[in-house]
Structure 1
Amino acid sequence: MTVTLDFGSPSTKRTLSDLSLAVAKSKKIVVVTGAGISCSSGIPDFRSSDGLYALVKERYPDVVLKGRDLFDASLFRDPTSTAVFYTFIGQLKQSIDAAVPGPTHRFIQLLDAKKKLLRSYTQNIDGFEARAGLLGSASGEAKASGKGKAKIRTKEVKSVQLHGDIHRVRCTSCSAEYPCTEEHVRVFVEGMAPDCPECAQRAEARAARSARAIKVGTLRPAIVLYDEPHPLGDDIGSIQTADLSRKPDMLIIMGTSLKVHGLKKLVKEFARSVHAAAPPSPAKAKSFAGKVVFVNRTPPSSEWAGIIDYHVCGDTDPWVERVIEDWKKMRPADWEIQQTLVATADGDVSMNGNLKVVAANKTKGKNAAKDNKKKPRQDEDGENVPPPPPPVLDAVMSTPEKAPPPTSPGKRRPTNSHYSVESSPSKRRTLSPIKKGLEDSARGLLFSKPDEEMDFDLNDLSMHSPPKPKAVRRSRSRVGRPVGVAAAA
């Protein structure tokens, strides 16, 4: 069941604050946007009473075209509808060039700066997301270079443009793409299409060598019409599959009526993945994890019951400003900027609030790593010479060199053996400093007999123990007295 929240109602204030906290806590947010987020920038949407369809009808009252027919691929079959389409696109391009991105575009870029945006999918062709700082899939900077199968750099693209980009033109014959210039716009406003320069150059080269002439294609806006295959369809499908596998934890849909079949399928798949990431316990339902939020003036149809959890009724700009305000109040630590000390050229130290390392510091670090590498010294003839010995202090030179510590018991010096008196802890305690310092002559007075009794035989130094005296065997008489005693008596 979808819960509708009136943005201006006091009863929904707590729920709106909880949604803001959910945005602040989420880490993998998918954003899907439509033409409604660009209304504040001066670009009317497609379906409202003052939208682009109504403006085209005022300009061409005699041409019967439905709103959908204006962006249908079948319009190129009739010259009149083709001229109406080119005129309308030329005027739309002029309006977009004079406008600037709105708060909602900057909010999406803020999510990316806070490392919370997984990807942005937009139906808009104005390219405001790219101007706000997100790399768009249809921009020239996203084109992949090399022999890879992907046409764009899928890992670096943050804004997927589902309907192309009005700021580029594409040849109807050779599919060559160019940036849309003022000259192209001037021709479009007149209801015509400029020739493709690549096809014209190839046709001139063939005519110069008397070869068969080829058709010269015309340039059209590089946008995707209804019932028209997307030139980057395979790459966009790969991006969507990768995002689904990363398990997004929140889906925000803003400024779209959800009428296009392809977009409806994309939203349902992401909503299913987001709901799978919701906590299974009902006690944790207040965390608002794994929720789908729909922000639009008109409510969703009954088709989206059970898919969209919350419908915020209103414009997108006031809601994103409310989210940022609540985010700063509830989680101020997310908005703190780490201050770093940066040394200036004159030696002073200044405060720098940027979180990223400046390019100068990066270059300095690389050069410092190169300078630390030792280079061989060379003489005048270019021959390598050994490096000079390291400087040694006089005090170190005068001190006798100490032997390095033994690496193993088997390699210790004999004097440091644990069998000697000096190294044995038990024997070291028995030696007095006074005794250790006596001479050999004086030491003999303490450990030997007087001089007249110092004559001894070398045999006395034998390691054998002296023989023990044999015990006298005594026997008892029959009356109980020892025999020896009787003899003495």
Structure 2
Amino acid sequence: MTEPIQCFTPNSDPNKEQKIADAAALIATAKHLVFFTGAGISTESGIPDFRGPEGVWTLRDQGKKSKRKISLATAQPNSGHFAIRQLQELGLLKLLITQNTDNLHPRSGIHPDLLVQLHGNSMLMKCLNCNTFYDRKTIGWDMKKFGKGYRSQKIIPGQPRCPKCLGRIISSIINFGDPMPEDEMDIAMEHSEKADVFVVVGSSLCVAPAYHYPEEAINKIPAAKLILINLGETPFDDCATIHISAKSGETLEKIVTKVTSILKERDHPK
């Protein structure tokens, strides 16, 4: 995981409603729909993003500290998370790639087989040897005794081992300087290469290697249609088929409502 490059500032979108309709039409007819989410999808759950006006890194660069509105343990999925789950239930979603570690996509009901968590999950530990994931309670990980269990921390005598292979248990979180998870990256790339519609939600697309997935999707032949839903500019704006500058929750709700109508009309024409 590498340090972010410079990103941009928010703007408004006077053509939002037409773009929502156009995005719904693309999604409804997609053969291989891939979503990619960043911190911006969770701001409506009270979790600050990174490069927004009140983002963690934005405030850090100003010499200020972020004031998180809510803890990760009590944060709830919002309408944006549930809208993506609805696309899963409609059978359209082929993969959801997320940079987020807040556990809100799993809690919203996204199936594990359709989810790649590039930077880990704050609620999960994993075996460094066999890559099996565990919640802390299952393996008896006491954070007061053993800490967060980051890869860079020293092993504490008595800390739990993997029940399957006795390997070392660490936090699944990918911190700066940690290697990215190869299995997850391979799955994300495989689906990006297959995507005909690639939707980015709440990401500035400024962090490598994460931004390589939409890049792969639009640079292949035939190129995927790229839909960006983000409060602010990204380095991919000029490449996007549709760019909606708006909050993700309400926008995704409207898109999925229109997608559902399109599918009903297709299956039951008047």
Fold match by TM threshold 0.5: yes
Matched with 1:310 is 242
Shift of 1:251: 0.7
For 1:160, which of 97, 104, 116 is the aligned residue? 116
Does structure 1 conserve the Cα–Cα contact (< 8 Å) formed by 2:33 and 2:198? yes
For 1:251, which of 183, 198, 201 is the aligned residue? 198
CA distance in 1, matches of 2:237, 2:231: 17
Runs of 4+ in 1 over 6 A off after TM superposition: 171-177
Does structure 2 conserve the Cα–Cα contact (< 8 Å) formed by 1:193 and 1:220? no
Deviations 1:331-379 (A, max 9, x none): 434798xxxxxxxxxxxxxxxxxxxxxxxxxxxxxxxxxxxxxxxxxxx
Structure 1 residue identity aligned to 2:257:
E
Pair 1:261 & 2:208 matched = yes
CA distance in 1, matches of 2:27, 2:81: 16
Structure 2 residue identity aligned to 1:270:
A
Structure 1 residue identity aligned to 2:258:
D
Structure 2 residue identity aligned to 1:125:
T
Q: How does 1:45-124 map to 2 (within 5 A)?
A: 45-53=49-57, 54=59, 95-124=71-100
Q: 1:110 to 1:260 in 2, by over 3 A?
A: same
Shift of 1:170: 5.3
Deviations 1:26-53 (A, max 9, x none): 2311111100001111111123343345
Structure 1 residue identity aligned to 2:156:
D
CA distance in 2, matches of 1:315, 1:101: 15
For 1:129, which of 105, 127, 130 is the aligned residue? 105
Structure 1: state its 5+ residue gaps.
60-66, 68-87, 137-156, 201-216, 279-289, 337-489
Q: Residue 102 of structure 2: SS of its match in structure 1? A: coil
Percent identity of paired positions between Structure 1 and Structure 2: 23
TM-score if structure 2 supplies the norm length? 0.73
Matched with 1:242 is 190
Structure 2 residue identity aligned to 1:291:
K
Q: How does 1:119-268 map to 2 (within 5 A)?
A: 119-136=95-112, 157-169=113-125, 178-181=134-137, 184-186=142-144, 188=147, 195=156, 197-198=158-159, 221-230=171-180, 232-233=181-182, 235-244=183-192, 247-268=194-215
Does structure 2 conserve the Cα–Cα contact (< 8 Å) formed by 1:125 and 1:164? yes
Shift of 1:317: 1.0
Shift of 1:325: 3.0
Matched with 1:322 is 254
Q: Residue 256 of structure 1: SS of its match in structure 2? A: coil
Deviations 1:300-345 (A, max 9, x none): 23xx365322211111112112212323444434798xxxxxxxxx
Structure 1 or 2: larger helix share? 1
CA distance in 1, matches of 2:52, 2:12: 21
Q: Residue 97 of structure 1: SS of its match in structure 2? A: coil
Does structure 2 conserve the Cα–Cα contact (< 8 Å) formed by 1:168 and 1:179? yes
Structure 1 residue identity aligned to 2:37:
T
Structure 2: state its 5+ residue gaps.
1-10, 162-167
TM-score if structure 1 supplies the norm length? 0.43
CA distance in 2, matches of 1:49, 1:14: 26
Q: 1:334 to 1:186 in 2, by over 3 A?
A: farther
Deviations 1:41-87 (A, max 9, x none): 111112334334548x767xxxxxxx9xxxxxxxxxxxxxxxxxxxx
Does structure 2 conserve the Cα–Cα contact (< 8 Å) formed by 1:294 and 1:311? yes
What RMSD in Å do the two structures reach over aligned CA positions? 3.9
Q: Residue 98 of structure 1: SS of its match in structure 2? A: coil
Matched with 2:27 is 23
Does structure 2 conserve the Cα–Cα contact (< 8 Å) formed by 1:174 and 1:199? no
Which structure would you say has the larger Rg? 1
Shift of 1:19: 2.0
CA distance in 2, matches of 1:244, 1:105: 20
CA distance in 2, matches of 1:119, 1:176: 20
CA distance in 1, matches of 2:53, 2:158: 40
Shift of 1:242: 3.4
Q: How does 1:283-362 map to 2 (within 5 A)?
A: 290-301=224-235, 304=236, 306-333=238-265
CA distance in 2, matches of 1:117, 1:176: 24
CA distance in 2, matches of 1:27, 1:50: 37
Structure 2 residue identity aligned to 1:322:
K
Deviations 1:383-409 (A, max 9, x none): xxxxxxxxxxxxxxxxxxxxxxxxxxx
Structure 2 residue identity aligned to 1:118:
K
CA distance in 2, matches of 1:256, 1:177: 26
Q: 1:29 to 1:180 in 2, by over 3 A?
A: same
Q: 1:103 to 1:194 in 2, by over 3 A?
A: farther
